[in-house]
Amino acid sequence: MSDSLVSVLTALADDELILGHRHSEWTGFAPHIEEDVAFSSIAQDEIGHAAAYYSIIASVTGGNVDRLAFGREPSEYRNAILCERDNDDWAYSLARHWLYDHADAIRLEGLEGTAHDQLRALVNKMRREERYHLIHADAWMKRVAHGPIEGRTKLIDAITNAYDDATALFEPFELEEDAIKQGWVVVPSDELRRRFVDRIAGILDELGIPMHFHKRADTSAEFVASSSGDLIASDGQNGQVEPAHDGFGGRRGRRSPEFGALWDDMTSMYRAHPGASW
């Protein structure tokens, strides 16, 4: 009965850990010193949330938090592939940060009614920190979207690159049906993905950003005109269609080529000193 709980928590924790690690790669390199501090702080928050999820897993299974974070083989991670993509440039990292934090807000809102007491308490605590992440991401998006053409163009390309991967944050968890039956998860991933797609399309429309999803969108998706006349993706007729693209599969342990170098780097200290306590 706890298998499905561990499955869900592992996916959530791995998302936060892997994205937190990618964010942290900007430390010392962000566009300016203030943002360097702000983005590093967001990275720390995400890794802190991962630690909190892992400690629930550890309390259920009797495992060890450090081992869960750093002692697994690449194929044992269950993060969405979006989280492990290389940073590329600031536009991509910003687009990913923005997409991820809106997805996370939707996800946490959905988890508020979970039957697991410890998880429910954690969700409420995390939502307070995630509020700042959203304000930060939205503030950046607004400025770059309304700024000079070069930044705007880079941002549009970055959203195009990250969008499909972001919808895969709502690829169903392993054992999701059981997790719903047990009450660990309240809202099915397919429904959350529909909410996410709606929310993102709405904000992009407000920002006046055209969507060029057709580059990598799945064939089942159709395009509808937004109020600004731009084309936006709709998630199929009933939103149940799971788009098949290379950003999917993360929840089943499929890893992209980018993951290897990240894993090497992230776990090197842990592997160099087996059994050390930190």
Partner 1 sequence: MFRRSGHKEPFEHAGAVIASDPEMALLMAKECFFRRREGDHLWVVARSDIHSLSDETLLEIAADKSYRFASDYRDVIEKRERALARAREIKGE
Of positions 38, 60, 203, 221, contacts partner 1 by CB under 8 A? 38
Instruction: Please compute, for residue 104, the number of CA atoms within 13 A of its CA located in the half-sphere on the CB side.
Output: 32
On the CB side of 171, CA atoms within 13 Å amount to 26
In 3D space, the residue among 231, 235, 221 whose CA is nearest the CA of residue 189 turns out to be 235
Q: How far is the CB of 41 from partner 1 (least distance, A)?
A: 5
Q: Is 233 helix (H, G, I), strand (E, B) or coil?
A: strand
Query: Across 198-257, where does the E strand assignment appear?
Result: 222-225, 231-234
Q: Does 134 bind partner 1 (CB under 8 A)?
A: no
Q: How far is the CB of 166 from partner 1 (least distance, A)?
A: 23
Of 32, 62, 73, 149, the one binding partner 1 (CB under 8 A) is 32
Establish if 107 lies at the interface with partner 1 (CB under 8 A): no
Distance CA 203, CA 205 (A): 5
State in angstroms the smallest separation of the CB of 68 from partner 1: 27
Q: Which amino acid is located at 227 in the chain?
A: S
The answer to whether the CB of 58 falls within 8 A of the CB of 49 is no
**Cβ distance to partner 1 smaller for residue 135 or 224:** 135
Binding mask 60-79 for partner 1 (x = CB under 8 A): --------------------
What are phi and psi for residue 232, nearest 5 degrees?
-125, 155
**Least separation, in Å, of the C-beta of 212 and partner 1?**
26
Nearer to partner 1, 146 or 271 (CB): 146
Minimum distance of partner 1 from residue 148's CB (angstroms): 12
Q: Does 132 bind partner 1 (CB under 8 A)?
A: yes
The reply on whether position 41 binds partner 1 by CB under 8 A is yes
Within 213-272, residue ranges assigned H as helices are 259-272
Burial (0-12, 13-18, 19+ Cβ within 10 Å), 1? exposed
| 43, 62, 97, 270 from 31: Cα distances, Å | 16, 42, 15, 30
Q: 135, 224, 261, 269: which one contacts partner 1 (CB under 8 A)? A: 135
Among 125, 131, 143, 273, binds partner 1 (CB under 8 A): 143
Interaction of residue 24 with partner 1, rule CB under 8 A: no
Alpha-carbon distance 233 to 229, whole Å? 13
Nearer to partner 1, 41 or 64 (CB): 41
| Contacting residues toward partner 1, per CB under 8 A | 32-35, 37-38, 41, 132, 135-136, 139, 143
